[in-house]
């Protein structure tokens, strides 16, 4: 019987369920925006893995972190872990521009999401993660 309880508890605490719950609890434009961003991430990368870290922040990963989905009173912030290394031809990044690694997009109530540009940015982030892992495998631990 304990096994069923454990598996039910694990299911209820699965990252995707926790993210569903967070979206529902927001119950306003922030939940709708986070749900839309999540759908675009899944569209861009069907192999994406969802996690919940840092006190409930949704995190999307593929061979490392792609981006996070933080929610604030006036914004939904999508932070790209390696955003400073990504091309951003559509100029989506509008936050955390001073750092050497991360870049973020702050979405505010009423903002239109450039879905095509966001999907392209997510795919570029995945490609960067995959290329980074492949590069580490190739170089190995050579003594030099």
CB 58 within 8 A of CB 38: yes
Rounded CA-CA distance 127/131 in Å is 6
Give tens-digit pLDDT for 127-138.
Answer: 999 998 766 655
CATH for 86: 3.90.1150.200
| Residue listed under structure tokens 């109530």 | 109
Give the whole-angstrom CA distance, residue 25 versus residue 75: 16
Overall average pLDDT of the 19-38 stretch:
96
- pLDDT of res. 67: 97
What tens digit of pLDDT does each residue of 9-27 get? 667 679 999 999 999 999 9
Cα angle for residues 46, 48, 55 (degrees, 5° grid)? 145
Q: Give the global pTM.
A: 0.85
Residue 126 lies in a domain: yes
Total domain count for the chain? 1
Residue 2 has pLDDT above 60, yes or no: no
Q: Which residues pair with 24 in a beta bridge?
A: none
pLDDT of the residue at 76:
98
144 inside domain: no
Residue 143 within a domain: no
> Does residue 115 form part of some domain?
yes
Residue 43 belongs to what domain range?
Answer: 2-137
Residue 142 lies in a domain: no
């Amino acid at each position: 019987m304990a096994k069923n309880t454990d598996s039910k508890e694990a299911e209820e605490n699965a990252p995707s369920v926790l993210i569903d719950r967070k979206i529902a609890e927001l119950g306003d434009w922030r939940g709708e925006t986070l749900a839309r961003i999540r759908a675009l991430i899944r569209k861009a990368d069907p192999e994406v893995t969802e996690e919940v870290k840092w006190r409930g922040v949704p995190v999307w990963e593929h061979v490392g972190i792609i981006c996070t989905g933080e929610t604030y009173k006036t914004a939904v912030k999508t932070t790209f872990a390696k955003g400073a290394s990504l091309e951003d031809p559509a100029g989506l990044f509008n936050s955390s521009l001073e750092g050497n690694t991360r870049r973020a997009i702050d979405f505010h109530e009423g903002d239109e999401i450039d879905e095509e540009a966001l999907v392209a940015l997510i795919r570029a982030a995945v490609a960067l993660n995959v290329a980074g892992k492949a590069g580490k495998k190739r170089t190995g631990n050579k003594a030099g």
